[in-house]
Amino acid sequence: QLAMVTLDMKTRDAAKQAGVKTYAAEWIARQRGFISAAADKSEPEKTAAPKLRLVETPSPRRVRIQNKKLVLVVGSGRVGCLQQIIALILAGILALALVLTVLALAPAATVTLTPQVEVITATVSLTADPSPGVTTVDAENNIIPARAIQTELTLFTEVETLDTEEAPVDFATGSVVFINRTQDEQFIPLSTTLRTSSGVPIEFVTTQTATVPAGTGAATSTTVIAVEPGPRGNVPAGQINRFANPTQGLLVRVINESATSGGTIRQAGVVRDDDKDRVRAKLRQLIQQEGYERMVAELDEGEFIPPESLQTIELDITYNHFSGDVTDALGAEMHAVVRGTAVGNYYANQLAYYALLEQVPPDVTLLPKGLKFSAGGIEDVNDRALTFSVTAEGLAVSDIDEDLVRQSIPFKPIGEAQKWLSDNLPIISVPGVDVEPNWLGRLPAFPARIKVVVVDVSE
């Protein structure tokens, strides 16, 4: 008897039509008793695989397409490995095509989430030290390097006198005539001093130059004003008749042909010590402001000078009047040095930024955009070292795990998915869920078909 052991279904069908028994394995044939235990086992002939050929059956009556029959060509019955590999490859290609088709037809969803945003602030107290030994930031002790700066300047200013009293204010004026005593022309300079001859001399000065023509008795006139204010300068005619320099009197004679007038007494300002204090304080303020502006113009980029660090050191001050002088205004000129401490914004902001990072909670990201820094008032000044506070403010956005979202909401109804997102994620509005095509009112069953979009809140 003949039997065939094979797994190929086509070979098994052909063997069955030929009346040959087939078994899937040798042990099955032994179990069913077809092969005895004592039967010898011999190797099959090494022949080619069975080949099929077409056999046409002619029709005696008319020509037509003949039925094709399969005729089994007896061989070893072994199926080639190449055929099995090709079959497996084809099966894999079909399976992949099926998966791609399902994915192409399956719905896709876009989930839009707006994360929570909170304002975080931190304030740090630090010391800006201009000492030569401080060159780097000491984050542990909150000390930053600073720079000593100064400028030297001189300014003049005036203040009105506050006290008044009856005092001679206005100056008497008049005119005099010069008469030549020689044959030569004589020149009388401006501010030539003249005086009266009776009693206490009262002095006058010429307010114009004068030229006396040549020849004895030749005359010319000019105007004069009293040296001191008040009614003492109001003298009668003929009283101004002498030169302060006797030599001039040998060449020219002088006389006032009419009385002088205009010297009066009235309420006028008087310089007091308080006026000196006020003009000095005003000068210090002006010099400090001017010095501050000059030093600011010399600052490097990113530096600032706290006004509290300014020091004004007086080198000299002079007044244009003494105490008791009658005047409506007192002026003074001051020569001084203005000093300050220049602080770098970068160093101060750096320490404030470190303090801000410590305030950021877990699962939150500090946005680099929108950081703000502001310096507070000076808390202490110690030998030009300044202690002050700096506040840093920034926006922190909550982190959203996109993988968690995709794994948690597949095939959920849209409303249920939105509720889950609102309850479990740090978001500030109802999440947007867009499903296309929306056949079932549910999200896709495959996480890969869910796209998560996190709104950028930094802008």
Q: Which CATH number applies to 170-263?
A: 2.40.30
Asked whether the predicted pLDDT for residue 71 surpasses 50, the reply is no
Task: Looking at mean pLDDT, say which of 27-36, 233-242, 441-450 comes out highest.
Answer: 233-242
Q: What's the pLDDT band for 98 if we cut at 50, 70, 90?
A: confident
Asked whether the predicted pLDDT for residue 82 surpasses 70, the reply is yes
Asked whether the predicted pLDDT for residue 76 surpasses 80, the reply is no
Please give the Cα distance from 139 to 154 (Å, whole number): 41
pLDDT digits (tens, 9 = 90+) for 24-70: 667 667 766 677 665 666 565 555 555 555 545 555 454 454 555 54
pLDDT recorded at residue 105: 55
Domain boundaries defined on the chain? 3-86, 147-162+270-341, 170-263
423 or 22: whose pLDDT is higher?
423
Please enumerate, as own/partner, the contacts of 195-202 that have beta carbons within 8 Å and a separation of 24 or more. Answer: 195/240, 195/242, 195/243, 195/244, 196/235, 196/239, 196/240, 196/241, 196/242, 197/239, 197/241, 197/242, 198/239, 201/242, 202/226, 202/227, 202/228, 202/232, 202/233, 202/235, 202/239
Q: What is the mean pLDDT of the chain?
A: 87
Q: What's the pLDDT band for 81 if we cut at 50, 70, 90?
A: confident
pLDDT recorded at residue 50: 55
pLDDT recorded at residue 437: 87
Asked whether the predicted pLDDT for residue 229 surpasses 60, the reply is yes
Q: What's the pLDDT band for 73 if we cut at 50, 70, 90?
A: very low
Give the per-residue SS3 of the chain.
Answer: CCEEECCCHHHHHHHHHCCCEEECCHHHHHHCCCCCCCCCCCCCCCCCCCCCEEEECCCCCCCCCCCEEEECCCCCCCCCHHHHHHHHHHHHHHHHHHHHHHHHHCCEEEEEECECEEEEEEEEEEEEECCCCCCCCECCCCEEEEEEEEEEEEEEEEEECCEEEEEECCCCEEEEEEEECCCCCEEECCCCEEEECCCCCCEEEECCCEEECCCCCCEEEEEEEECCCCHHHCCCCCCEEEECCHHHHHHEEEECCCCCECCCEEEEEECCHHHHHHHHHHHHHHHHHHHHHHHHHCCCCCEECCHHHCEEEEEEEEECCCCCCECCEEEEEEEEEEEEEEEEHHHHHHHHHHHHHHCCCCCEEECCCCCEEEEEEEEEEECCEEEEEEEEEEEEEECCCHHHHHHHCCCCEHHHHHHHHHHHCCECCCCEEEEECCCCCECCCCHHHEEEEECCCCC
pLDDT recorded at residue 26: 73
Asked whether the predicted pLDDT for residue 74 surpasses 80, the reply is no
Query: Which whole number is the average pLDDT over 63-85?
Result: 56
Asked whether the predicted pLDDT for residue 434 surpasses 80, the reply is yes
Q: How far is CA 452 from the centre of its chain?
A: 33
pLDDT digits (tens, 9 = 90+) for 151-199: 999 999 999 999 988 888 899 999 999 999 999 999 999 999 999 988 8
Q: What's the pLDDT band for 72 if we cut at 50, 70, 90?
A: very low
pLDDT recorded at residue 83: 77
pLDDT recorded at residue 130: 95
Question: Which range has the worst mean pLDDT, 74-78, 365-369, 379-383?
Answer: 74-78
pLDDT digits (tens, 9 = 90+) for 257-281: 999 999 999 888 999 999 999 999 9
pLDDT recorded at residue 70: 46
pLDDT recorded at residue 6: 77
pLDDT digits (tens, 9 = 90+) for 368-402: 888 999 988 889 998 889 999 999 999 999 999 99
Query: Which whole number is the average pLDDT over 201-214?
Result: 96
Asked whether the predicted pLDDT for residue 108 surpasses 70, the reply is yes
Q: What's the pLDDT band for 1 if we cut at 50, 70, 90?
A: low
